[in-house]
Amino acid sequence: MFQQKMDKTYETKLLRVDRKGFSDSVLNEACELLKKGELVAFPTETVYGLGGNALDKTAASRIYAAKGRPSDNPLIVHVAEKEALFSVGREVPEGAVRLTERFWPGPLTVIVKKSEIVPKTTTGGLDTVAVRMPSDEIAMSLIKQSGLYIAAPSANASGRPSTTRAEHCMEDLKGKIPLIIDGGPVPIGLESTIVDLSSERPLILRPGFITLEQIREIIPEIEYDPAVIAREADKNAVAKAPGMKYRHYAPRGELTVFEGSPEKVIKRINSEIAEKRRHGFKTAVLATEESIAYYNADIAESLGRRTDEGEIASHLFEMLRKFDDEEADFIYAESFFSPGVGRAIMNRLLKAAGYNIITVSD
């Protein structure tokens, strides 16, 4: 694995696209850049993407360089019609077709064997390719109008929380790409569910807004990749060595997640806060509408109502970035385990925390 170097610097433009009747001039400019092998950040319904021509090795290398991403971490190829799965993929299994019929366009990525046209630079050296058809109208127009397949990882600097607003892309990518299309805040706020259908055993590699239960309706034998489960179940073991290996989406302050009954969690977090404040540290809490008023932190942020998983999901990355902006030293988060979207929320939160979770018992 090696790190690509930037080949030039840019005066990054941030151009707003009004969703009501969006301006062709911004889209035209974006398409021209993409066709020349340059990169453009753009909104999707999940998070902002950092796009480049998926079939152009140089463009793909630029993506790794701009993000500071190791070049063995593959990119997702974004397409504008379902049939494209057969041009970037090969030996596409029936399950993949049925999944895309049900969930595309939308927050679902499928992994299949790659066809010859996709360079290995795009797939991080793998013989498989991840493909997604987004539902966001700006993303769709960009793909259609450029006539390209667009490789796009989340538009954040490697290791930082994904970007849910154009301003976040500017924070991370200023000077590194020529254009960011501002389409406002994204609706979902967590990256797509990734389903690997490239081998005998279909697996969910990353939980997302489309849940295991929904995918099971189409592929009854679908399971989580043992790595997704193992990391969650084995959190205590991992927490002992919160290695860089698992660090992702990480805020700069030290993030700890607490699980247990609401009263006990509030009490425990407040005692941690008191201790840290005595030593002059800046403390932050990530809570919900129901509990936010009970905390004594320097910064207290609510993700939304606990019962509204969509709302919680849509604010998670934004709040993690806010704690960085406000230079929080210690961040304490409530937990959000649930069978549905809560699975994806906790997956991101635990990664951000380096699997640092404490169970508050009696």
Q: What is the footprint of ligand TXA within residues 197-226 (CB under 6 A)?
A: 205
3-state SS record for the chain: CCECCCCCCCCCEEEECCCCCCCHHHHHHHHHHHHCCCCEEECCCCCCEEEEECCCHHHHHHHHHHHCCECCCCCEEECCCCCHHHHHEECCCHHHHHHHHHHCCCCEEEEEEECCCCCCCCCCCCCEEEEECCCCHHHHHHHHHHCCCEECCECCCCCCCCCCCHHHHHHHHCCCCCEEEECCCCCCCCCCEEEECCCCCCEEEECCCCCHHHHHCCCCCCEECHHHHHHHHCHHHHHHCCCHHHCCCCCCCEEEEEECCHHHHHHHHHHHHHHHHHCCCCEEEEECCCCHHHCCCCEEEECCCCCCHHHHHHHHHHHHHHHHHCCCCEEEEECCCCCCCHHHHHHHHHHHCCCCEEECCC
Q: Which is nearer to ligand TXA, 46 or 314 (CB)?
A: 46
Q: What is the footprint of ligand TXA within residues 109-138 (CB under 6 A)?
A: 109, 111, 123, 126, 128-130, 132
| Nearest-approach distance from CB 76 to ligand TXA, in angstroms | 5
Residue 192 near ligand TXA by CB under 6 A? yes
| Nearest-approach distance from CB 264 to Mg ion, in angstroms | 34
| Nearest-approach distance from CB 104 to ligand TXA, in angstroms | 12
Stretch that binds ligand TXA, among 19-27, 45-53, 251-259, 263-271 (CB under 6 A): 45-53
Q: Which does 250 bind (CB under 5 to 8 A by kind): ligand TXA, Mg ion, none?
A: none
Q: Which does 314 bind (CB under 5 to 8 A by kind): ligand TXA, Mg ion, none?
A: none
Q: What is the footprint of ligand TXA within residues 136-165 (CB under 6 A)?
A: 152-154
* Interface pick for Mg ion out of 154, 163, 211, 314 (rule CB under 5 A): 154
Q: Which does 132 bind (CB under 5 to 8 A by kind): ligand TXA, Mg ion, none?
A: ligand TXA
Q: Which does 75 bind (CB under 5 to 8 A by kind): ligand TXA, Mg ion, none?
A: ligand TXA
Stretch that binds ligand TXA, among 69-77, 263-271, 272-280, 304-312 (CB under 6 A): 69-77
Stretch that binds ligand TXA, among 1-9, 70-78, 268-276, 291-299 (CB under 6 A): 70-78
Nearest Cα neighbor of 245 from 128, 355, 130 is 355
| Nearest-approach distance from CB 189 to ligand TXA, in angstroms | 10
Using CB under 5 A, list all residues that contact Mg ion.
154
Using CB under 6 A, list all residues that contact ligand TXA.
44, 46-47, 49, 73-76, 109, 111, 123, 126, 128-130, 132, 152-154, 191-192, 194, 205
